[in-house]
Amino acid sequence: MTLPLLIEQTLNGIQLGVMLFLMSAGLTLVFGIMNLINLAHGSLYMLGAFVAASVASLTGYFVVGAIVAVIVTAAAGALLEVALLRRFYRRTHLDQVLVTFGLILVFNEGARQIWGGVPLRFSLPAGLDGSVHLWSGLDYPAFRLVILGVGLVVGLLLYAVIMRTRIGMWVRAGASNRTMAAAMGVNVEMIFIGVFAAGAALAGLAGLMAGPILAVQVGMGEPVLILCLVVTVIGGIGSINGALVAALAIGLIDTFGRVLLSPALGSMAIFVAMAAILAWRPKGLFPVHG
């Protein structure tokens, strides 16, 4: 493998990892803080892509589509929390899996009713649809660089908010011990709605950025959801640092696994890695609950 190719594949791995991180951040926080397994997280990703695609093609501006999509998915997340999912925090995981799996079916069928079964068109804004010359022998798609940049910025921002602000402290307190945090006067209810809406917005952001690269179609959230569950488990449930490290690791392992190994082994690489990491650290890389 030549040096430019190695750099390109590394960029590909990091870019995939960044996307996975945006998705997993919400999933892992909801899991860690509310003790809720939300399989419908992938549906919010799909919703982000669909809303962005429709609004962008209606108005002609990608940015408008992106902003509307983030707002809509955040609202959808908050609505889900208030209207339905808060009733399930104290129920068993099986009940949660059942209800959120049901939500997947509702979201998919709803999207099919509104947008139809044929994949939507979602073009890139002019100027971002080509590739950028980075090095001799290394051109990289401009939009993927944007994804990389946005993902890293949002990731750092999230890290700063959670690790360095008062709100972040409440969130972390909620994640390590919900009952004690509530007893110390943290408004747990508002934190829960906020975390849910923020997680949904991040999933929507990931969806709208994936839209121009991937097919915008019914059921697009489920394959990504599986990878995100892997990330969440490896990183340690509820841990933002863990999600970041695990997402980047999975992105790189998947990319290089596909290039260097045979197809059968390449598609297994991340699951082998997951098994190995869990054997070494059963609670994930950065466990939150002691």
Partner 1 sequence: MRHLLLATVFALSSIVSAQAADPIKVGFISTFSGLGGSLGQELLDGFNLGLESTGGQFGGRKVEVVQGDDQAKPDVGRQLADKMVESDHAQIITGVVFSNVMLALAKPSLDAGAFVISANAGLSQYAGKQCNPHYFTVSFQNDTPAEVMGAYLASKGVKKMYIVAPNYPAGKDSLAGFKRGFKGEIVGEVYTTFGQLDYAAELAQIRAAKPDGLYFFLPGGMGINFVKQYAQAGLKADIPLYGPSFSLDQTVLPAMGDAALGAFASNFWSESFQNPTSVKFVMDFEAKYHRIPSPYAAQSYDTARLLDAALKTIGGKIEDKKAFQKALETVKFDTVRGKFRFNTNHYPIQDYYLTEITKNDKGQIVMALRGQMATNSVDTFAEQCQMPSAE
Residues binding partner 1 (CB under 8 A): 2, 5, 8-9, 12-13, 15-16, 112, 116-124, 129-131, 139, 141-144, 210, 212-220, 223-224, 255-256, 258-259, 263-264, 266-267
Closer Cβ to partner 1, 102 or 130, answer by number: 130
Nearer Cβ to partner 1, position 56 or 198? 56
Residue 110: CB minimum distance to partner 1, A: 14
Q: Give the SS3 label for residue 128.
A: coil
Instruction: Quote the CA–CA distance of 193 and 73 in Å, as a whole number.
Output: 13
Give the nearer residue to partner 1 in terms of CB position, either 35 or 255: 255
Q: Report yes or no: 112 and 218 within 8 Å, Cβ to Cβ.
A: yes
- The residue among 161 and 259 lying less far from partner 1, judged by its C-beta, is 259
Find out whether 124 and 212 touch, Cβ atoms under 8 Å: yes
* Closer residue to partner 1, CB minimum distance, 130 or 184: 130
Q: Give one DSSP letter per residue of 1-61, joined into a string.
A: --HHHHHHHHHHHHHHHHHHHHHHHHHHHHHHHH----TTHHHHHHHHHHHHHHHHHHHS-
Maximum C-alpha span of the chain: 60
Report how far apart, in Å, the C-alpha atoms of 94 and of each of 61, 82, 107 are.
42, 20, 20
Q: Name the residue nearer to partner 1 (CB basis): 219 or 287.
A: 219
- The nearest distance, CB 37 to partner 1, in angstroms, is 22
Please report, as a single letter, which amino acid is at residue 62. Answer: F
Other residues' Cβ atoms within 10 Å of the Cβ of residue 259? 14
Minimum gap (Å) between residue 182 Cβ and partner 1:
40
The three-class DSSP label of residue 225 is helix
216 beta partners: 120
Residue 107 or 170 having the CB closest to partner 1: 107
Least CB distance to partner 1 at residue 134 (A): 12
Report in angstroms how near the CB of residue 205 gets to partner 1 at its nearest: 17
Nearest distance in Å: CB 130, partner 1: 6
Instruction: Give kind and range of the element (H or E) at residue 135.
Output: strand 131-135
- Nearest approach in angstroms of CB 188 to partner 1 is 36
